[in-house]
Amino acid sequence: MVLSQLEQSGGSVIVAIPSDILSQLGVEAGQKVELAIKDGVLVVQPHQLSPEPTLENGVKKTFVPFAAEWGRVRARFNSMPKRSD
């Protein structure tokens, strides 16, 4: 067990975490962590990002091929009135 001191920093209190403990957690300075209290103990764990949306986890496929969309844009542009300078 490592002893660390709580320090005041503005409206928060910070605790220094030794680098060997950070490496065991798999995090480094600047990364987000999740804090929780379980059975009166402060638990710090790496923040888990939500999985990327995929067709497998329920995201609907909405894909318009670029060439088809570009064709519609070009058609609208070509049908615009021409400037007479």
The verdict on residue 1 lying in a domain is no
The verdict on residue 84 lying in a domain is no
Q: Under a CB-based contact definition with an 8 Å cutoff, are residues 16 and 32 in contact?
A: no
The verdict on residue 16 lying in a domain is yes
The verdict on residue 39 lying in a domain is yes
pTM, to two decimals: 0.50
The verdict on residue 31 lying in a domain is yes
d(CA 82, CA 85): 10
Q: The CATH number of the domain where 18 resides is what? A: 2.10.260.10
Report the number of distinct structural domains present in the chain.
Answer: 1
Question: How much is the pLDDT for 53?
Answer: 65
Q: Supply the range of the domain harboring residue 28.
A: 6-46
* Residue 38 DSSP one-character state: E
pLDDT top residue among 72 and 23: 23
The verdict on residue 11 lying in a domain is yes
d(CA 13, CA 27): 20
pLDDT tens string 15-71: 999 999 989 888 889 899 999 999 999 998 888 876 666 666 666 666 555 555 556
